[in-house]
Amino acid sequence: MRRPRGARLASALRRAAPALGLFAAARLTGLLILWLWAERIGRSPSQLLTRTWDSVWYTRIAADGYGYTLHFTDGAVHSDLAFFPLYPALVRAVTTVLPLGGGTAAVLLSWAAAAAAAFAMYLLGERLHGRTTAALLVLLWGLLPHSVVLSLAYTEPLLTAFAAFSLYAVVTGRWLWAGSLAALAGLSRPNGIAIAAAVCVAAAYELWKRRAHAPWRLWAAAFVAPLGWGGYVLWVGLRTGDPLGGYFAVQAGWRSRFDLGVDNLLNVRDVALRATELASPMTASIVAAGVLLFVLLLVDRENRPPLPLLVYAGVLLLIAVGGGGFFESKPRFLLPAFPLLLPLACALTKARPRVATVVIAALAGLSWCYGTYLLTLAPMPL
């Protein structure tokens, strides 16, 4: 007899509790170090969390709606239409119901979304590789060099939460949930198209296998998944007078474009030939590590994840590597690509406890120190 849904959820939460506790400890320790350092150098910790770079744009949209544009002397045009609407809408909803400021509501939403993403990640990891690997996957995600973003008023936690639950729904055959969650992910960030692609490819593969016996839910999932991303892109196009190209023109105003990696190669060349800020060589190293981990995902027959996880991670990696503009933001764009961490989580599961402890401690030190540097000392956008 199948257990009630509430009982299954409670059981899953009990199994995930150690992993979620480790994740919370990792992020709270990083937040404490950031807070103490900010106080020491005379910076406001709360301002760092709620008003760092893109956070200002999101809270402004939540308060006033769309319509704000900055023009620069070099020809760049920064329009708030570049920012997808779900996160500001949720911030506005929270501030309407609770007596909170926009920045506080935005941070609390990000924290809640990060916790939800960690839970979904655990469920996926447990189903694919067992409880130990699942816990390590969650912990590794919380200790990425750019994981400080999970504590800010940014959209990466929200996208990751919807994407991870959508992937879990695909793996468990819940196709309507998969498509609906992918649509919500597509309303969260521009690279939310990655989860729509994963759901569509997975549905297409199932349709091909089943042919005449394919259930209608597969067709529905493939239809619904891209509606969030595509709907917002079309809305921006209609608002700007160019239905198909308007959104991409807005992105071009931010110097963000898909140039097959030419701009990134030029930045890597600069890193190799001259002294740069720490964030630049770190960015090159993190993106290179992402490429290596994706290759490991592909070649490891024993631990290779299901097709939708490969497509999701691959599209996110393609967008980060092939897209130009804001080079130092590339690791942030890869934060939602948690399947890339599966090879490392599997390796640590098999490693000796002392080796695993040393690796995790090193990653923790890097994450906490580098995250503090990014918010308090780095001069470039996060």
The predicted-structure confidence for 182-232, as pLDDT tens digits, reads as follows 999 999 999 999 999 999 999 999 999 887 677 889 999 999 999 999 999
Among 183, 263, 264, residue whose Cα is nearest residue 228: 183
Under a CB-based contact definition with an 8 Å cutoff, are residues 193 and 229 in contact? Answer: yes
- Token output for 68: 């704000």
For residue 240, give Cα distances in angstroms to 81, 234, 236, 249, 279.
Answer: 10, 10, 6, 9, 35
Task: Give yes or no for residue 266 having a pLDDT over 70.
Answer: yes
The predicted-structure confidence for 321-343, as pLDDT tens digits, reads as follows 999 888 899 999 999 999 999 99
Average pLDDT over every residue of 113-123: 98
- Token output for 219: 């067709």
What span, in angstroms and rounded, lies between the C-alpha atoms of 342 and 303?
A: 8
Average pLDDT over every residue of 99-121: 97
What span, in angstroms and rounded, lies between the C-alpha atoms of 343 and 63?
A: 42
Average pLDDT over the chain, rounded to an integer: 94
What span, in angstroms and rounded, lies between the C-alpha atoms of 184 and 259?
A: 27
The predicted-structure confidence for 24-53, as pLDDT tens digits, reads as follows 999 999 999 999 999 999 999 999 999 988
Using a 10 angstrom Cβ sphere, with 0-12 exposed, 13-18 middle and 19 or more buried, the burial of residue 353 is exposed
- Token output for 178: 């998969």
Average pLDDT over every residue of 98-104: 94
Evaluate if pTM is beyond 0.85: yes
The predicted-structure confidence for 73-87, as pLDDT tens digits, reads as follows 888 899 999 999 999
